[in-house]
Amino acid sequence: MRVKPSQRQKKRYIVFETLPQEYPSKDAGAEVELIAKKSLGAAWRDACIKMIQTRRPLRPGIRILRISNRFAKPFVDHLNKTSSLRTLGMSGILHIAEKKYIRGKEV
């Protein structure tokens, strides 16, 4: 049974970077899961958190995360409180998140 577009869960894409001297980039998924459990409590499974693999290579230490719209703000607040991860931005469209927060910052 198909779900109507109006009844689908809205999503946000969060672009964040791992600080290399504090935390290795490969373990960022485990760190994100711990932050989700702390910030969202029992509802962290409803947040539908997923790490995104993009077609184009990203800069080292930069990751993109997809999360449900309802849980995005509390999650970002807790993410910014950690010393090992830093949020670069949030967008509703993956292409715009890449273009605005990753491609625009390259030198």
Q: In what order do the strands lie in the sheet with 85-91?
A: 50-52, 62-68, 11-18, 85-91
Answer whether residue 2 is part of any domain: no
Q: How many residues does the chain have?
A: 107
pLDDT at 93: 93
Answer whether residue 3 is part of any domain: no
Answer whether residue 4 is part of any domain: no
Provide the domain count of the chain: 1
* Bigger pLDDT: 53 vs 100: 100
**CATH for 74:** 3.30.70.3250
Over the stretch 1-37, which tens digit does the pLDDT of each residue have? Answer: 888 988 888 999 999 888 765 555 557 778 888 888 8
Domain range enclosing 52 = 9-105
Tell me the C-alpha to C-alpha distance, in Å, between residue 100 and each of 9, 16, 71, 81.
24, 13, 22, 23
Answer whether residue 1 is part of any domain: no
pLDDT at 13: 94
pLDDT at 12: 93
Confidence band for 44, pLDDT divided at 50, 70 and 90:
confident
Taking the C-alpha atoms of residue 90 and residue 56, their distance in angstroms, rounded to an integer, is 19
What distance separates the 2 farthest-apart alpha carbons in the chain? 48
Global pTM value: 0.81
Over the stretch 50-62, which tens digit does the pLDDT of each residue have? Answer: 888 877 667 777 8
Mean pLDDT of 32-43: 82
Answer whether residue 87 is part of any domain: yes
